[in-house]
Homo-oligomer: A and B are copies of this chain.
């Protein structure tokens, strides 16, 4: 069983009628719905319950999914640090869309994580750059989202380990829409689609990518906690 925990700040859906129309139970509910299966169970957290993301919880979480936008600042530094530490100790994590500016993502990247953006509801075409990557399985040469928020380069991230997808936008931008990183024992996937005003997370291709990413990011092995040990000479131990 893969234990997934979703964090969604869950503000837009309660404050904006047009978002509520798309995600009446919250973005997390839609993601949880398509992920839940015989092999995956899902637990959800929102900004209201963000402090329940404890070290205990994280220890039993295989993969976390993070969606935030308006209140990145309201996530306590200690919670973000716990999430970063859990990733370093092997938990996988998937950052969606505007989570590029979330604290855990910035803590893990070490860069500004800025990008340029436009809200014109452009059509986005997401191109597969690495067809052999496990995250791209079941995705063809590209897939289209009729409307998405436009994200543009430069995207302030370290050179990714792998660029799996690049997005093309009707209005003229490009964006590295699917990128992987490793931090100590943990795997990280950033995936750009997902504006709250569009039904992105109902899209079959988006769902396939996120599900693939869960399988890819789950820790394959339980390793000892990271430490900085004073050691003896090899052989004297």
Binding site for B on A (CB under 8 A): 84-85, 88, 90, 101, 107-112, 114-120, 125, 127-132, 134, 137, 141-142, 144, 152-156, 158-159, 161-163, 166-169, 171-174, 176, 181-186, 219-221, 223, 226-235
Q: Which of B156, B171, B182, B223 has a CB less than 8 Å from the CB of A233?
A: B171
Closest chain B residue, CB of each to CB of A169: B168
Alpha-carbon distance A141/B174, docked complex (angstroms):
12
Contact B130 A158 (CB under 8 A): no
Contact A228 B114 (CB under 8 A): yes
Contact A228 B115 (CB under 8 A): yes
Q: Which of B84, B174, B184 has a CB less than 8 Å from the CB of A174?
A: B174
A231 cross-chain contacts in B, Cβ below 8 A: 116-118, 152
Contact B226 A112 (CB under 8 A): yes
A184 cross-chain contacts in B, Cβ below 8 A: 111-112, 132, 156
Instruction: Tell me the number of copies of this protein.
Output: 4
Alpha-carbon distance A155/B107, docked complex (angstroms):
18
Alpha-carbon distance A154/B221, docked complex (angstroms):
17
A127 cross-chain contacts in B, Cβ below 8 A: 152-154, 173-174
16 contacts between A and B (CB under 8 A): A110-B110, A110-B183, A116-B228, A116-B230, A116-B231, A117-B228, A125-B172, A152-B231, A156-B226, A166-B174, A167-B174, A168-B172, A168-B173, A171-B233, A172-B233, A174-B174
Q: How far apart are A138's CB and chain B's nearest CB, in angstroms?
A: 9
A186 cross-chain contacts in B, Cβ below 8 A: 132
Alpha-carbon distance A114/B154, docked complex (angstroms):
26
Alpha-carbon distance A168/B219, docked complex (angstroms):
29
Alpha-carbon distance A176/B84, docked complex (angstroms):
24
A108 cross-chain contacts in B, Cβ below 8 A: 110
A90 cross-chain contacts in B, Cβ below 8 A: 132
Q: Which of B141, B182, B232 has a CB less than 8 Å from the CB of A158?
A: B182
A232 cross-chain contacts in B, Cβ below 8 A: 118
A158 cross-chain contacts in B, Cβ below 8 A: 158, 181-183
